[in-house]
Amino acid sequence: MAAAESYPDDLKYHEEHDWARVEGEEAFLGITWFAADALGELVHFEPPEVGSSVTKDQSYGEVESVKAVSDVIAPLSGEVLEVNQQVVDAPETVNEDPYGNGWLIRIRLRETGEADALLDADAYRQLLADQ
């Protein structure tokens, strides 16, 4: 079952509908409820390799739904420390819990200051309202 629409205040948001939960020098990355809802039920997640680098504003993987294939855009730069195997095995987890069990990757931040350029929850909600 799909999650209810939400945009938690403790996250940072990228205008390409990706989120980051920054915890010290690491961050969890995922796609927002809006992105998951627009795509529909996810059927595949093509993650990056652990140890590879992701670059802010660049694609680091793909999510595939019954409707489309979409690039996942990195809101921050860093080294991939972990891929969420639960999402690889059961991509619909993202639809059910986009900000909890549906995170995609965990990275070690290359530049902690990058997070300052991301949107807070209110600014992201305004971005959605303006579309």
Fold assignment, 12-130: OB fold (Dihydrolipoamide Acetyltransferase, E2P) (2.40.50)
Task: Write down the pLDDT at residue 2.
Answer: 73
pLDDT in tens, the chain (131 residues): 678 899 999 999 999 999 999 999 999 999 999 999 999 999 999 999 999 999 999 999 999 998 899 999 999 999 999 999 999 999 999 999 999 999 999 999 999 899 999 999 999 999 999 98
Other Cβ atoms within 10 Å of 109 Cβ, number: 19
Q: Can you tell me the distance from the alpha carbon of 118 to that of 19, in angstroms, rounded to the nearest whole number?
A: 9
For the chain, the straight-line distance linking the first and the last C-alpha, in angstroms and rounded, comes to 26
Task: Write down the pLDDT at residue 1.
Answer: 63
The residues pairing with 73 across neighbouring beta strands, listed in sequence order, are 59
Q: In the chain, where are the structural domains located?
A: 12-130
Task: Write down the pLDDT at residue 28.
Answer: 98
Task: Write down the pLDDT at residue 3.
Answer: 82
